[in-house]
Structure 1
Amino acid sequence: MSEQTVSAGLQTSVYSERLGVALVFGSAFFWSFGGAIARFLHIEDNWTIVFWRCLFAGLFLIAFMLVRDGPAGTVRLFRNMGWPGITVGLCFMIAATCFIIAISHTTIANVLLLGAGVPLFAALITWICFRQRVSLFTWCAIALVIVGVSVMVSGSFTGAVSPIGDALALLIAVVFALATVITRRYPHVRMTPATCFGCLAASAFAATQASSLAVTTGELGLLFVFGAFNLGLGMMLFAMGARLIPSALAALLGTAETMLGPVWVAIIHGEIPALRTVIGGLLILVALLGYLTAEFHRQSKLRG
C-alpha cells in the first residue's frame, strides 16, 4: 500500500470523526432547547402536546429516510429492525412521553441533570443482565451518581418539586440506558427507524389518552418546531454522527444538552435551579465526565 493511499485513508478517517463530532454536538444543541420551547406552550392536556410533538418528529424522520434511502430502502429499514429495534423504539416512546409529563411536575434542570447519568446506568444494567465486568472506577462513578440523584430528589420530600416529576425523569434515564445497552449488543439495529417507530407509537398512544387534540394555529406552529426540529432533527443528527465516533465520545458530547438546557430556560423564562439541583447535578456531571473521559481514552488505545 502506497504512502499516498495511507495518507488519504487517515485524512478520510479524521474527516469522518470531525463530522461525527459536529453532528452529535449539533444534536445535543438542538435537544437542549426542548425545555425552553415547552415552557412557551400553555396547553392544559400534556397528552395533546405528546401527540403533536411526536407526530411531527415521526413524520420528519420518515421524510429524512425517504430522501436518504428511497421508499424501498425505508420500508427495508423498518422491516429489518427486528425485536431489538422495536424494543429501542418503545424505550424512546416512553422517554418522549415522560419528558413532557415530567417537566410539568418538576424543573427542566432536574429532568436534564437526572438524565445525565444514562451511560453509568447503562453500565449498571449491563452488569446486572450480562454480568459484564465493571471496573472499580466505574463503580465509584455510579456511587457518586446515586449520591447526586439522592441530593436532587430530596427536594421532592420538602414539597419544592413533585416526586412524580423526579420519578419520571429517572425513568427516562433508565429507558435511555436500556436502549443504549440493546444498541450496543445488537449493533445492526438502525437508530433512525427505531426512533421513528417510537415517536409514532408515542403519538398514537397519546391520541387515545388526550381529552382533545385541538390546538390554535400559533400553538401548532410551536409544536411543529418542538417536534420536527427539536426532537426529530436532533435524533437525525445523532443517528448520523454516533456511527462515526467512539460511543464514549458521543456520550461526552451529549452532556452539552445537560449543561445548556437549564441555561436556556434560566435566560428565557427565569427558571433558576434550586441549590439542591445544582449540587446534585454537579456531582452527577463530575462522575459522568470522569467516567466518559476514562472510557474515551480506553477506546482510543484499543483503536490505536
Structure 2
Amino acid sequence: MKQRNRTTMGTIAQQRKAMLFMVLCAVMWSIAGIFIKWISWNPLLIAGARSILSAAVIGIFMASTGRKLKINKYSVCAGIGLSGSCISFVIANKLTTAANAIVLQYTAPIFILLFSAFLFKRKLKRGDISVVLATTGGIALFFFDQLSPGSIVGNILGIIAGFFLAVMFVCVGQAAEDDSVRMSGILLAHIFTSLVGICSLLFVDFHTTSLELLYVIILGIFQLGIPYVLYSIASKHCPPLACSLIGTLEPLLNPVWVFLFDGEAPGLYALFGAIVVIAAISAWCVWQNKSLKA
C-alpha cells in the first residue's frame, strides 16, 4: 500500500512538473509576435535566422539525450509541415495583427479533423462538425474588419500556417507518436526553414542593428528552441487535455504582449472572432477527452 501511495504521489508530482513546463512553453511561444514586429528584416530572413538557432538548441538536446535523427516519410513530411507553418506565421505577423496571425494558426485542430474525414475516411461526430462550423464562423469574422489588401493576405497566411501545422501533427500521429520521429521532424523543419532564409539573402537587401540581432537570438533560443525541448519533456507526463488547454495561453498572451509594448490592437470583429475560435476549440478538447474516457 505504501509503495502504491509513493508511486501515485510520484506520478502526480511528474504531472505537475510537466504542466509547469507546458505553461513555460506556452508563455515563451507567445513572445513571437512582439519580437517579429520589432525586426525590420524580410520575414523569410527572420524565419530562417531564428530557425538556425532553434535547430542548434534542438540538435544539442537530441544528442545529449540519445535521440537519433530519423529520416523517413513521416519525419520529412512533419518537417515540411512545420517549416511551412513557421514561414507562413512570420509573414502573417508582418502583414496583419499579431492577434490575427496567432489565432488563425491556432485553427490547426480543425484541419486535422478535416484530414481525418477526407483522407482517412473517419466519420465525424456531431461535436466535431459543431466545432468546425463554429470555428469557420469565427474565422469569417476576421475578414469583416476594414482591412488593407496586405492585411487580408496576412489573414490568409495565418490560416495557411494552421493548415501546415495540422500536416505536421497528422504526420507525427501516423508515426504512432514516436518521440524520435517528432523531434526529428521538428529539427528538419528548422533546417528547411533555415535554408529558405539563407536563400532569401540572394533576393533581398539586408541591413541590421545589434538590437535586432539580440531579438533574433531571443526568438531562436528562447521563443522556439527551449520551448520545443520543454514540450518534448512535458508531453510524456502532461495529459493531452491539459497540454491542449494550457496551449491556449499562447494565442491569448501573444496579442497582449504586442498591445502592451507596441500598441497594436486587433479590430472589434477580429476580437470576437478570436473569442469564438479559442472557445470552440477549447470546448472541443474537453468534449473529446470525455468521449475517449466514455
TM-score w.r.t. the length of structure 2 is 0.92
Residue of 57, 60, 69 corresponding to 2:57: 60
> How do 1:66-215 and structure 2 match up within 5 A?
66-69=63-66, 73=67, 77-78=68-69, 80-155=70-145, 158-159=147-148, 162-186=151-175, 187-190=177-180, 191-210=182-201, 211-212=204-205, 215=208
Asked if 1 retains the 8 angstrom alpha-carbon contact of 2:53 and 2:217, the reply is yes
Q: Secondary structure of the equivalent of 2:40?
A: coil
Give 1:19 shift. Answer: 2.1
RMSD: 1.9
Instruction: Determine the C-alpha separation between the residues in 2 that align with 1:217 and 1:285.
Output: 37
> How do 1:252-291 and structure 2 match up within 5 A?
252-291=245-284
Give 1:236 shift. Answer: 1.4
Q: Secondary structure of the equivalent of 2:88?
A: helix
State the Cα deviation string for residues 139-195 of structure 1 (Å, max 9, x = none).
111100000001113337x53752211111001111111211222222115322221
Change (3 A) 1:152 1:142: same
Aligned length: 290
- Structure 2 residue 236 is matched with structure 1 residue 251: no
Asked if 2 retains the 8 angstrom alpha-carbon contact of 1:107 and 1:161, the reply is no
Moved more, 116-125 or 98-107: 116-125
Instruction: Determine the C-alpha separation between the residues in 2 that align with 1:92 and 1:235.
Output: 12
What amino acid does structure 1 have at the position aligned with 2:167? L
Change (3 A) 1:102 1:30: same
State the Cα deviation string for residues 73-118 of structure 1 (Å, max 9, x = none).
4xxx21x342101111111111111121111111100011112222
Give 1:265 shift. Answer: 0.6
> How do 1:214-225 and structure 2 match up within 5 A?
215-225=208-218
What amino acid does structure 1 have at the position aligned with 2:282? L
Instruction: Determine the C-alpha separation between the residues in 2 that align with 1:297 and 1:9.
Output: 25
Q: Which residue of 1 aligns with 2:2?
A: 4
Change (3 A) 1:113 1:178: same
Instruction: Determine the C-alpha separation between the residues in 1 that align with 2:60 and 2:179.
Output: 19
Q: Secondary structure of the equivalent of 2:243?
A: helix
Q: Secondary structure of the equivalent of 1:174?
A: helix
Q: Secondary structure of the equivalent of 2:114?
A: helix
Asked if 2 retains the 8 angstrom alpha-carbon contact of 1:108 and 1:261, the reply is yes
Instruction: Determine the C-alpha separation between the residues in 2 that align with 1:280 and 1:296.
Output: 24
- Structure 2 residue 59 is matched with structure 1 residue 50: no
Q: Which residue of 2 aligns with 1:292?
A: 285
Asked if 1 retains the 8 angstrom alpha-carbon contact of 2:34 and 2:257, the reply is yes
Asked if 2 retains the 8 angstrom alpha-carbon contact of 1:155 and 1:161, the reply is no
Q: Which runs of 4+ in 1 moved over 6 A?
A: none
Asked if 2 retains the 8 angstrom alpha-carbon contact of 1:108 and 1:262, the reply is yes
Give 1:49 shift. Answer: 1.4
Moved more, 261-270 or 246-255: 246-255
What amino acid does structure 2 have at the position aligned with 1:116? Y
Moved more, 253-262 or 146-155: 146-155
Change (3 A) 1:12 1:82: farther
Instruction: Determine the C-alpha separation between the residues in 2 that align with 1:255 and 1:235.
Output: 16
What amino acid does structure 2 have at the position aligned with 1:281? A
Moved more, 204-213 or 192-201: 204-213
Structure 2: runs of 5 or more not aligned? none
